[in-house]
Structure 1
Amino acid sequence: MYSQTFEECIQACFECMKACNVCYDACLGEEDVKMMADCIRLDRECADICAFAAKAMQSDSPFAKQICTLCADICEACGNECKKHDHDHCRRCAEACFKCAEECRKMAA
């Protein structure tokens, strides 16, 4: 059964997924796309794992804690990559990633 204790983490996952998708799209429009390759790659990975983690929590998967632990690691990696860049979309993405990583770690504890 779906647990209300997951709610904050699910919300953080959805916000991070959205920020990563926005960042991914904006990075593709940057002048030096090649320089943004790692950011683009991590944005995609992070958005995907955030969606998966949210779904796992919503369906009360017995693997939700493990998935959220992995999600936290990927969010942290994405946030660290995004904070290397000065673009607003990267800054906002990094903030969402770090918040999601924190919520996922709390949920998985």
Structure 2
Amino acid sequence: MMNMYPSIVRVIQDCEAVCDHMVTHAGRMPDVQSRAAQLQLLRDCADVCALAARYIASDSPFSRESATLCADVCEACAAECMRHADEASQHCARVC
């Protein structure tokens, strides 16, 4: 089936990629001990973005539910990333 939402899928995939990168980046930060919540949300966000992108791209009957969950997790991830002043976290917050 043809994907009717390629731009949405691309945005979600971009968020997944940024969150995946941030897991590694944040894990190497000197203050990694204070980033447990951020690291968990980054992993969750990347995972849910991957699932939502696949569901939306394949026009799954679960597309809407996965998109809603994706939006909720992305919002939580963005809020947590905003708590950290480094540019990478701020960029991640904007992408989410």
Same fold (TM over 0.5): yes
Alpha-carbon separation, structure 2, partners of 1:44 and 1:8:
23
Q: Partner of 1:46 in structure 2?
A: 45
Please report the TM-score for the alignment, with normalisation by the length of structure 2. Answer: 0.95
Distance 2:45 2:14 in 1: 11
Deviations 1:57-81 (A, max 9, x none): 1111001011100000000000000
Cross-structure match for 1:31: 30
Aligned alpha-carbon RMSD (Å): 0.8
Contact 1:53–1:71 under 8 Å retained in 2 = yes
Structure 2 SS opposite 1:54 = helix
Residues matched between the structures, number: 96
Distance 1:64 1:74 in 2: 15
The alignment-based identity, stated in percent, is 36
CA–CA separation in structure 2 for the residues paired with 1:19 and 1:39: 13
Partner of 1:22: 21
Q: For the residues of structure 1 that align with 2:50 and 2:28, how far apart are their CA atoms?
A: 24
The one-letter code sitting in structure 2 at the alignment partner of 1:86 is A
Match of 2:60, SS state, is: coil
Which residue of structure 2 lines up, in the alignment, with residue 8 of structure 1?
A: 7
Which amino acid is 1:57 matched to? I
- Supply the distance in 2 between the matched residues of 1:64 and 1:27 (Cα, whole angstroms): 30
Paired AA for residue 2 in structure 2: Y
TM-score after normalising by structure 1 = 0.85
Question: Cα distance, 1:37 vs. partner?
Answer: 0.7
Q: SS where residue 60 of structure 1 aligns?
A: coil
Separation (CA, whole Å) in 2 of partners of 1:67 and 1:7 = 16
